[in-house]
């Protein structure tokens, strides 16, 4: 471990601190980039990785046990009741879908905007998107109670009529949105990795690795003609992913907004949800990358300036979310709708007010600290803030869903919701699934897009 860290430090020392435009610390050659990115793949992981993996896999095991029990027994094992029919599961669903959004934002929107800092973090952010969408998709699936009939949500000719699905339902829009999102994200991610697989193939020492990388690199050889076409395809996919990612959380918000429930039935929901999704996603990217850059020793590729840039996006989206909270309250007051007013008064003073204040404190207030560059440059502060935002954004969805449902129009239906142990265990399990997948990813796939970082490194060399 120490042996190879030395030259890296030397390289950094040799390079004068180049502020603003440089997104790589030091001046690694193209070969250095390959070596540094490949290192986690070819060396035996350290204790930090194993401990993290053990923790994540244990959490996953808890989740598997909880879900197995729930499927075998029924969703009566959850704390849901007739009034609050959506609670933990849909909160988790929206939370995880939101996490995914930062990945697409980084890989697609920032690509179209020619933001060079995205190159070092795009691969891991895309991976995060895919794992988060997997976690998200799990919740509606188990909420069905009989997940083995999940294929009924797809429109296929069947022997029941054929009885088709209801295309006017936002829940069905969700099915299509999430599946399209997962598919396109997977395609984008995989296509992005083909050149790196070829690099790994050409440098693999063991025959097994070479065979595997040969298959997955699809015969890539780096020909200029192919590169030209490849760049075109990347731009096109980015252009497609951009409206897609906005549509996905818009549609998720319509699950709520198209209903008549006070607190849900508002036109602000789509932009509010999309901003919240990007906000929570960037918080998760920060959490992951702060850990990974130090565990995998990639600090000179994922630099403090990357963290700073992500913190700025968090500040922006966090402020949008704060504005949306204020707007919701303002419209409830200004709209003179007693039900709407009651729900919002309930959020402030009702039995779930503690959750509301966690949400406002973590999402609207805490990120305001990011106006100070000292905070943005402190890894520890950013880590704490990113965790707070993750917590806050989870509570945001919980508050939106539960406070609107538990006190709606009919006082005789008013009730409280408390999660059961099984629900909490399922949430823990989804984190387990997410982190297990992510840890396997950093171990088996190149977590930094080598070819993109090389282009960046070479451009800097050319500019010198």
Partner 1 sequence: MTKRDIVVGRFHEEPTLIEAVRAIRACGLRIADVYSPYPVHRLDDALGIERSRLPLVTLAGGACGLVAGLALELYTSVVDWPMNVGGKPDASLLAFVPIAFELTILGAGLATAAGLLLRSRLAPFRAATVIDRAATDDTFAVVVNCRDTALDRRLVEQMMLNYGAATVESRAVLR
In 3D space, the residue among 348, 349, 365, 362 whose CA is nearest the CA of residue 395 turns out to be 362
| Contacting residues for 379 by C-beta, under 8 A, at least 6 apart | 290, 304, 307
Applying CB under 8 A, does 171 fall inside the site for partner 1? no
Query: Does 240 help bind partner 1 (rule: CB under 8 A)?
Result: yes
Q: 120 vs 81, 99, 129, CA distance in Å?
A: 46, 19, 16
93 Cβ contact partners less than 8 Å away, ≥ 6 residues apart: 136, 139, 140
The piece of 72-80, 181-189, 289-297, 413-421 that touches partner 1 (CB under 8 A) is 181-189
Q: Does 112 bind partner 1 (CB under 8 A)?
A: no
- Find the binding residues for partner 1 in span 425-464 (CB under 8 A): 450-452, 454-455, 458, 461-462
Binder of partner 1 out of 194, 345, 391, 428 (CB under 8 A) = 194
Task: Give, as one character, the DSSP assignment of residue 241.
Answer: H
Residue by residue, DSSP assigns 381-401 as: HHHHHHHHHHHHHHHHHHHHH
Per the structure block, which two tokens stand in for 425?
A: 């265990």
Site track 293-332 with partner 1 (rule: CB under 8 A), x = hit: ----------------------------------------
Q: Which is nearer to partner 1, 164 or 334 (CB)?
A: 164
Supply angle C-alpha 426, 432, 437, rounded to 5.
130
Assess contact for 89 and 401: CB atoms under 8 A. no
Q: How far apart are CA 133 and CA 189, in angstroms?
A: 13
If binding is defined by CB under 8 A, does position 48 make contact with partner 1?
A: no
Q: Which stretch binds partner 1 (CB under 8 A): 57-65, 177-185, 405-413, 434-442?
A: 177-185
Question: CA 247, CA 458: separation in Å to the nearest integer?
Answer: 36
Q: Which of 78, 131, 230, 273 binds partner 1 (CB under 8 A)?
A: 230
- Among 12, 18, 203, 443, which residue sits at the site for partner 1 (rule: CB under 8 A)? 203
Helix/strand/coil for 116: coil
Is residue 207 at the binding interface for partner 1, with CB under 8 A as the rule?
Answer: no
3-state secondary structure 186-199: HHHHHHHHHHHHHH
Tell me: does residue 10 bind partner 1 (CB under 8 A).
no
Q: Which is nearer to partner 1, 251 or 402 (CB)?
A: 251
Q: Is 363 in the site for partner 1 (CB under 8 A)?
A: no
Which one among 77, 83, 116, 247 touches partner 1, defined by CB under 8 A?
A: 247
Q: Applying CB under 8 A, which of residues 30, 171, 345, 365 lies at the interface with partner 1? A: 30
The burial of 402, by beta-carbon neighbours within 10 Å (0-12 exposed, 13-18 middle, 19 or more buried), is given as buried
Strands (E), 22-97: none
Near partner 1 by CB under 8 A: residue from 9, 48, 233, 421? 233
Instruction: Name the one residue in this structure whose structure tokens are 């060399």.
Output: 461
76 interacts with partner 1 by CB under 8 A: no
Q: Is residue 217 within the footprint of partner 1 (CB under 8 A)?
A: yes
Residue 179 vs 297, nearer CB to partner 1: 179
Nearer to partner 1 among residue 175 and residue 289 (C-beta): 175
In angstroms, the CA 347 to CA 376 distance is: 32
Out of 187, 353, 379, 381, the only residue in the binding site for partner 1 (CB under 8 A) is 187
Comparing CB distances to partner 1, the nearer of 195 and 322 is 195
* Sites of contact with partner 1 (CB under 8 A): 29-31, 34, 155, 161-170, 172-173, 176-177, 180, 183-184, 187-188, 191, 194-195, 198-199, 201-203, 214-233, 236-237, 240-241, 243-244, 247, 251, 254, 450-452, 454-455, 458, 461-462
């Amino acid at each position: 471990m120490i042996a190879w860290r030395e030259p890296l430090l030397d390289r950094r020392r040799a390079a004068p601190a180049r502020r603003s435009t440089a997104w790589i610390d030091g001046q690694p050659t193209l070969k250095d980039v390959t070596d540094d990115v490949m290192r986690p793949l070819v060396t035996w992981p350290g204790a930090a990785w194993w401990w993290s993996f053990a923790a994540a896999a244990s959490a996953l095991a808890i989740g598997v046990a909880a879900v197995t029990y729930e499927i075998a027994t029924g969703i009566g094992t959850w704390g849901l009741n007739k009034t609050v029919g959506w609670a933990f599961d849909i909160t988790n669903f929206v939370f995880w879908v939101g996490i995914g959004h930062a990945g697409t934002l980084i890989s697609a929107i920032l690509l179209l905007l020619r933001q060079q800092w995205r190159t070092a973090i795009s691969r891991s952010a895309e991976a995060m998107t895919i794992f988060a969408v997997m976690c998200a998709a799990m919740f509606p699936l188990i909420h069905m109670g009989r997940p083995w009939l999940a294929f009924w949500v797809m429109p296929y000719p069947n022997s029941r009529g054929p009885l088709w699905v209801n295309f006017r339902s936002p829940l069905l829009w969700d099915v299509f949105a999430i599946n399209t999102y997962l598919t396109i994200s997977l395609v984008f991610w995989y296509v992005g990795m083909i050149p790196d697989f070829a690099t790994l193939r050409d440098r693999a020492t063991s025959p097994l690795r070479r065979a595997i990388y040969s298959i997955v690199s699809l015969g890539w050889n780096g020909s200029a003609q192919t590169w030209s076409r490849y760049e075109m395809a990347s731009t096109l996919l980015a252009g497609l992913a951009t409206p897609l990612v906005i549509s996905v959380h818009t549609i998720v918000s319509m699950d709520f907004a198209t209903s008549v429930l006070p607190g849900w039935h508002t036109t602000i929901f789509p932009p509010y949800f999309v901003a919240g999704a990007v906000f929570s996603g960037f918080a998760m990217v920060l959490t992951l990358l702060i850990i990974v850059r130090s565990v995998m020793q990639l600090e000179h590729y994922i630099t403090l300036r990357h963290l700073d840039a992500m913190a700025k996006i968090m500040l922006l989206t966090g402020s949008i979310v704060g504005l949306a909270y204020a707007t919701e309250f303002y419209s409830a007051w200004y709209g003179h709708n007693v039900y709407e007013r009651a729900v919002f008064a309930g959020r402030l003073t009702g039995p779930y007010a503690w959750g509301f204040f966690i949400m406002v404190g973590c999402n609207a207030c805490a990120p305001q600290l990011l106006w100070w560059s000292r905070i943005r440059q402190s890894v520890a502060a950013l880590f704490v803030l990113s965790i707070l935002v993750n917590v806050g954004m989870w509570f945001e969805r919980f508050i939106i869903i539960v406070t609107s449902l538990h006190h709606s129009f009919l006082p005789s239906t008013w009730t409280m919701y408390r999660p059961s142990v099984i629900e909490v265990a399922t949430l823990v399990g989804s984190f387990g699934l997410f982190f297990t997948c992510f840890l396997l990813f950093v171990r088996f796939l190149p977590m930094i897009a080598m070819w993109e970082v090389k282009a960046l490194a070479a451009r800097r060399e050319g500019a010198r």
